[in-house]
Structure 1
Amino acid sequence: MIERPATPARRGAVPIDDIDRVLLDHLARDGRMTNNALAAAAGIAPSTCLGRVRALVERGVIRGIHADIDPAALGRGLQAMIAVRLHGNSRGHLAEFGRELAALPEVLDVYLIAGADDFLIQVATSNTDELRDFVLTRLNERTAVASTETILIFEHIRPNAS
């Protein structure tokens, strides 16, 4: 996985040109595309392509390139989105709470959201018993948690999937 260097959170658009857009479009569809194939698709030299991709990573445009692993293949075929609302006095610790959620093995993604709830988390478990236990013990037993709402995922359709 390619990770960008630790930098302060970036807010707002980063200037990119048409060649960057071609590179990003191809990488979004196939993160395993070779540098030579990516360069050919963009009409630039492989060395130029490598430099541009590195610059996109350094500037925070590319946040990472990773494998999209099917949780069902790992025996965790039941997925859910769980909305989590914290007590008002716990909202000063949102970042810490989000990091704690992200560290849990069942958690696939954590979103800090606006609205009535504070977080939306995507989880994968092997069955409904594990999902229930996760919600009851890993979430609802935390003193910071005011409420949760669990929504089962029947199918995840990823855009730009190839």
Structure 2
Amino acid sequence: MAPSTFPQQPVDLDAVDRRIIQELVADARLSNASLAQRTGIAPSTALLRTRALIERGVLTGYHAEVSLPTVGRSVQALISVRLRVHDRVQIDRFTQKMPTLPEVLSMFHISGANDYLLHIAVSSTEALRDWVLDNLATDESVGHTETTLVFGHHKGLGGPIPEDLPEL
């Protein structure tokens, strides 16, 4: 499946589409037979509807969630990054490089005083310091960073569609 891109136009979703999405967000490993049963439709319909949601760009992927501490990445941080110069070549280089670094969990292009927000996970505070020095402080396009340690992360629901949204 193709990665999601911003912005996308809303697509028509009926009650069955919304229910399929909610069930898959709750459990992406759900079998087609279970999905059909939970949504009250035939398995063939569930399969066709799910494929249509993928083709229309509504469902963009399925993933495994890793417990970061169990793989030695117990220190998480959010790093605000302000670029020194807003030159297209440097912006493109920065936005292509950062998401490829194994420590980067997410990168957000944001508005306000800063340009980017990085969510990273490393093994220790020493590794965090070294990562910032090696990947940001020495990068000629970076003008300023501010690092915030993450003490806890409470994941949201991640995509269920509110019932009160009007159909398009």
* Cα RMSD for the two superposed structures: 1.9
Helix, strand or coil: the match of 1:14? coil
* Aligned mates of 2:44, 2:90 — CA distance in 1: 44
CA contact (8 A) 1:84 1:118 kept: yes
1:40 aligned residue (32, 37, 57): 37
Give the total of aligned pairs. Answer: 158
Does structure 1 residue 67 correspond to structure 2 residue 68? no
Structure 1 partner of 2:162: none
- TM-score by length of structure 1 reads 0.89
Structure 1 residues 1-162: aligned runs within 5 Å: 3-4=1-2, 10-91=7-88, 93-160=90-157
* Aligned mates of 2:4, 2:24 — CA distance in 1: 22
Helix, strand or coil: the match of 2:140? coil
- Share of identical aligned residues, percent? 41
Any idea what the Cα deviations from partners look like across 1:27-83, whole Å, max 9, x if unmatched? Answer: 111111111111111111111111111111121111211011111110000001111
* Aligned mates of 1:52, 1:104 — CA distance in 2: 36
Q: Which has the higher contact order (CA 8 A, sep 6+)?
A: 2
* Aligned mates of 1:63, 1:31 — CA distance in 2: 12
**Range moving further from structure 2, 63-72 or 7-16:** 7-16
**Structure 2: 5+ residue stretches without partners:** 159-168
